[in-house]
Chains A and B, each alone.
Chain A
Amino acid sequence: MPHAVPYRPLNGHARGFWLVLGLLGLAIAGGLGAAHLMHHEGHIITGMTNQVVWGLPHVFAVFLIVAASGALNVASIGAVFERPLYKPLARLSALLAMALLIGGLSVLVLDLGRPDRLTVAMTHYNFKSIFAWNIFLYTGFLVLVGAYLWAMIDRAGARVYKPAAYGAFVWRLVLTTGTGAIFGFLVARQAYDAAILAPLFIAMSLVYGKAIFVLFLMAVCRASGRPLGGVVLRRLQRLMGIVLGAMLYFVAVHHLTNLYASEHHGIEAFLLRDGGPLTTLFWGGHVLLGGLVPLYLLLAPRLGGNRRALSAAAVLLILGGLTQVYGLIIGGQSAPLVLFPGFEVSSAFADGVVASYVPSPWEVLLGLAGVAIGLVVAVVGCAALPILPADLSDAAIDPDHVADTLDEQDGALAGTT
């Protein structure tokens, strides 16, 4: 059954609420304008070419879609793993999951060469395509999480609470596997073609989703004057640290297994050593600033419960996540495709050379609009529905206030997720 906690929507009449919506609206208008221009002029105005066919919009779209399934994790811990401390946050978790997915899908659709043919995509399916499967996975996710959210809000939906919670949990794992498989199934691309991309994407989703969830929670509580206790933040901090460690582990395994096989030495040398800005982004952006630094901020004992460390880590994880997806998508396409192993190759179609890619302002605007769309859905949802608990202070959500005992359970809890 849903946890009995009083909820209080955001004040829809507050000036700050409309200011935020106005700013987000501007960002969305900018993105829609950019998409209109791309549709009218063609992708010639973007940085994309016949070599780098997926650009910055895909980076934002994949990041948001992956983060969406991870944002649901807080709700899943409460309902599936029976951790009552997380139950008051489950509604926000579900809403953010839906919001981020809608934001990501919007970017994906607006970046199509023919976005006007969306109806074709919805009426013609090739069931061997993981892309087509993802259309069902995404819509199914929205339906399941929507039902889950309804069951949490409306007593009439209490009967479907457990099935929807379990269904959404399993579905989100399958969904992220499907997103990873979009790349994992690209057998010809040396940077992809790896089954480990599926679990890596699940680990990425846990990291990105939690980072966005924590930042949104802290920001919205601060903006609406809602008490936010340290117990739940401390728990989330450690959990984020553990899933970040898991993600870095999968990244390391991915590259180390590639380094074992001679046929992959070329792509690894490119990504890890010779890729210029891409290599710098990998080591500096993804590994250091988006990995090791937040790992310290999240797991260093003396920073436990430090809100600044937590919010700084969350910001770094979001930026590091975008860097990671950029490296995966752009790096994988920039590396020359190997058609003739053992030969030096050249052609008028960029065979044998590193493809360059510089994102255009239009792509930046479109990507940011996806973030803004997700945030608008989340903010409006928090104002229109009883999503946010009125009080998240330690005493309110943890009546027994047994913080020490809870801390001891962290390891076991994280192990189950």
Chain B
Amino acid sequence: MSQPARRDVLKSLALGGGLTLIVGPVAHALAPRPPGQPADPATRWALLVDTRACKVDCAACVDACNREMGLKQPTDPDFDPAHDAQYIRKVTLRDPDTGHTTAPPVMCQHCAKPPCVDVCPTGASMQRADHIVQVDKHLCIGCRYCMMACPYKARSFVHQDLTDQKPHNPRGKGCVESCNLCVHRIDRGEPPACVAACQRDGGGAMVFGDLADPNSDLNRRLAEAGGHRIRADLGLDTGVYYQGL
């Protein structure tokens, strides 16, 4: 394949710059949300995980999530895998035919049509205008029907009293909780803790962005290489895409 001529490259850059000027600044780029301003319904926050860049033994995203949200680390001596909350986990997948192994992170998939929201009797399980799915801890009665309904095992139940909670993630015994995409960070204009950690300490496998923004890096990558969604057959229109599965 021949190298592109310098003139062609310059032409492309000029065209790209011109298009950017025409479109204007990225409509829903990550920026702080001023207090009192409601979440933007035109935004669809989403994640992309490139499993080819996600090392099987790397848990940077899990560690960062646990630190950010005030959860116990699996390495803690008093960690109880049956009862302690896990908002994000690495799931090791092995193809029995080929032996190929990957370990993508799995968390709340922030469905556009979330079953947890459908089944919740009180409306505690709710979807923010920008499609982030979370639990209103004031309305949760602890019936756990959302946990039964979630196809991704993304939810945890608080089984006992907790101490040392993070102010941005108040947790209550008897309530259900899950990944909320670090909504407090997003509102500050920062990416979720798992994504930041993956970019900083991991393989750079996780990308966060606005699915509704055609110019987002996330959309560009999806347009180039496509993406797979877990249990897409359920038609839940999840907001977490995977590449390389």
**Contact: A345 with B175, CB < 8 Å?**
no
User: Is residue A405 contacting chain B, with contact meaning CB distance below 8 A?
Assistant: no
**Contact: A50 with B147, CB < 8 Å?**
yes
Q: B122: which A residues are within 8 A, CB to CB? A: 120-121, 124-126, 132
CA distance A46 to B82 in the complex (A): 12
* In the complex, per-residue mask of A303-342: 1 if CB is within 8 Å of any chain B CB, else 0: 0000000000000000000000000000001000101101
Closest to A43 in B: B159
**Contact: A187 with B158, CB < 8 Å?**
no
Given A113-B141, A342-B95, do A130 and B147 touch, yes or no (CB 8 Å)? no
**Contact: A135 with B151, CB < 8 Å?**
no
Identify A121's interface contact among B82, B85, B119, B141, CB under 8 A. B141
Q: A342: which B residues are within 8 A, CB to CB? A: 95-96
Given A42-B159, A340-B93, A343-B93, do A114 and B142 touch, yes or no (CB 8 Å)? yes
Q: A50: which B residues are within 8 A, CB to CB? A: 82-83, 85-86, 147, 153, 155-157
Closest to B90 in A: A347
CA distance A113 to B142 in the complex (A): 4
- Give the secondary structure class of A's interface: loop
User: Is residue B139 contacting chain A, with contact meaning CB distance below 8 A?
Assistant: yes
**Contact: B94 with A113, CB < 8 Å?**
no
CB distance from B104 to the nearest CB of A (A): 9
Interface of chain A residues 129 through 167 with chain B (CB within 8 A): 129-132, 135
Given A339-B230, A340-B230, do A346 and B92 touch, yes or no (CB 8 Å)? yes
Identify B123's interface contact among A41, A49, A125, A339, CB under 8 A. A125
Interface of chain A residues 42 through 56 with chain B (CB within 8 A): 42-44, 48-51, 53-54
CA distance A374 to B185 in the complex (A): 50
CB distance from B108 to the nearest CB of A (A): 13
Given A43-B159, A187-B151, do A117 and B118 touch, yes or no (CB 8 Å)? no
Instruction: Flag the segment in A64-72, A209-217, A237-245, A348-356 that touches B.
Output: A348-356
Given A54-B148, A131-B121, A188-B151, do A348 and B86 touch, yes or no (CB 8 Å)? yes
User: Is residue B161 contacting chain A, with contact meaning CB distance below 8 A?
Assistant: yes
Closest to B231 in A: A339
Given A44-B83, A49-B82, A114-B174, do A347 and B121 touch, yes or no (CB 8 Å)? no
**Contact: B74 with A42, CB < 8 Å?**
no
User: Is residue B218 contacting chain A, with contact meaning CB distance below 8 A?
Assistant: no
**Contact: A129 with B89, CB < 8 Å?**
no
**Contact: B139 with A113, CB < 8 Å?**
no
Q: Can you list 7 A-B pairs, Cβ within 8 angstroms, ordered by A? A: A53-B147, A112-B142, A113-B144, A113-B176, A124-B122, A126-B117, A342-B95
Known contacts A124-B122, A339-B151, A347-B89; can you find 12 more A-B pairs with CB under 8 A?
A42-B158, A43-B159, A43-B174, A53-B148, A113-B144, A121-B141, A188-B150, A333-B148, A346-B91, A348-B90, A349-B89, A350-B82
Q: Which residues of B contact A (CB under 8 A)?
A: 74, 81-83, 85-86, 89-96, 106, 115, 117-124, 139-145, 147-153, 155-161, 172-176, 230-231, 234, 245
